[in-house]
Amino acid sequence: MNGKRQIRPSGALGSVRYEIRGRLARRALELERLGHEVISLNIGNPYAFGFRTPETMRLAMIENLRHSEGYVHQKGIFPAREAVVMQQQDRGVRGVTVDEVFIGNGVSELIDLCLRALLNPGDEVLVPSPDYPLWTAAVNLNSGRAVHYACRPEHGFVPDPDEIAAAVGPRTRAIVVVNPNNPTGAVYPRETLAAIARIAERHHLVVLADEIYDQILYDDAVFVPMATLVENTLCGTLSGLSKVYRACGYRVGWASFSGDVAHASDYLGALELLSSLRLCSNVPGQWAVQTALGGHQSIRELTRAGGRLHESRRAILEGVASSRHLRLVPPRGALYSFVEVDGERFGEFDDQAFALELLETKHVLVAPGVSFNFAPRNFFRITNLPEAAVLSVVFERIEALLDARVADGQPLRAVDTPAKLRSR
């Protein structure tokens, strides 16, 4: 070491996992550099699969570039915030003004800011399991403690309000609701959401509703905005342009606050302070918000019968139905399927070992279920963004791998990989 000390990362990162872009994704890049074609199903990035942002949004951004060269208000430009208010009002949410809307660099930044403005060391936040892992990570990184409430496959991945109520403790400050859900695709019934709202009101908890997939629905699924059900406590609704409008790279999200805003002035002031410290969020993308929310909702053409997302989802359902090893709660919304492997047929099934062997031998990249703070080790998540024909090939490769493991009677374990991969 020549007398030099190793630079160590923050210990706070010990509780953070984000395998969606982690070890497996890095190995996939290595395989691609070696000339292999990898089917990457780990990230819900529409652009990577040929989807485009609506042209009207691109034009709105281009036409306003001359107004995008300086800082803007820390909460965002007025037309964007006003468009969010109008959308919320159209959905039946009362009492929202532009003062309660914050524009951020995607929902990801706003998740961090909302929790940083709220939590003191040791405070608890109720988070679903499985979850989008940024929620758990952001709670932990902001000195809080994520307490997971179960969303079980036997219940369609819909949480049980009684179990949520039992998880509330003296340090609980907030409850996170992800609907439509990532990673499971569950769309929560009104009755469940109303029960969660009553729990939050009874215990004076902040409700943080992650609704980034609000218009990505299949068949007869109905989306109920959480803010229409919360009245006597604060409700923060988080959404953005990334998924519904296929504009991940614009990095534009928003948080709008409703419900008992009168008793949240100090908290909203703290959130504005944090927003001010980062000066403002990306300005060019904000000019697309008004056009997006007020214009033609092209997502519906993609999710209805015959649309590309609908047909890709159908290919996943058919792939699982024809498998001897897989099960699936049909996703009713969002861009993912959370697939279960019949672990009893493989002894001690390990989702990470499965994902690595699938990548090494079949060149398919999936996200193991453990990545989503989920205890069972026989699940994996895939996105339904590829064409249906590609997904059919994916399930043929998965079935071939699982068939081979059943035939040789060996537990599914990771194949030999370079030492540099194993050490990461």
Say which range, 237-241, 344-348, 349-353, has the weakest mean pLDDT.
344-348
Q: What is the rounded average pLDDT for all residues in the chain? A: 93
If pLDDT is split at 50, 70 and 90, which confidence band does 413 have? low
State the pLDDT confidence band at 61, using cuts at 50, 70 and 90: very high
Given the candidates 3.90.550.50, 2.40.50.140, 3.60.20.10, 3.40.640.10, the CATH classification of the domain at 66-294 is 3.40.640.10
Q: Classify residue 375 as exposed, middle or buried by CB count within 10 Å of its CB (0-12, 13-18, 19+).
A: exposed
Neighbours of 346 (CB within 10 A): 20
The predicted pLDDT at position 124 comes to 98
Q: In which band, very low, low, confident or very high, does the pLDDT at 408 lie, cut at 50, 70 and 90?
A: confident
* pLDDT over 70 percentage in the chain: 96
- What average pLDDT does range 295-309 have in this prediction? 96
What confidence category does residue 2 fall into, taking pLDDT thresholds of 50, 70 and 90? Answer: low
**β-strand 172-178 against 326-328: which pairing, if any?**
unpaired
Tell me: pLDDT of 418 over 50: no
Handedness of CA 390, 385, 45, 158 (dihedral sign): negative
What does the pLDDT look like over 196-206, one tens digit per residue? 999 999 999 99
d(CA 8, CA 15): 15
**Does residue 280 contact residue 193 with C-beta atoms inside 8 Å?**
no
Q: Is the pLDDT of residue 6 over 90?
A: no
Domain ranges across the chain: 11-51+301-422, 66-294
Sign of CA dihedral 279, 282, 287, 289: negative
Helices (H), ranges, 278-362: 283-286, 289-294, 299-303, 308-321, 351-362
What is the spatial distance between Cα 373 and Cα 206, in angstroms, rounded to a whole number? 22
CATH 1.10.287.470 given to domain 11-51+301-422: no
Q: pLDDT category, 421, cuts 50, 70, 90?
A: very low
pTM, 2 dp? 0.92
Question: What is the band of 347 on the pLDDT scale with cuts at 50, 70, 90?
Answer: confident
Reply yes or no on whether the pLDDT at 18 is more than 80.
no
CA pair distance 129, 150, nearest whole angstrom: 5
Question: Which residue has better confidence, 123 or 21?
Answer: 123
Taking CA atoms, 310 is separated from 51, 302, 303, in Å, by 14, 7, 5
117-167 pLDDT tens trace: 999 999 999 999 999 999 999 999 999 999 999 999 999 999 999 999 999
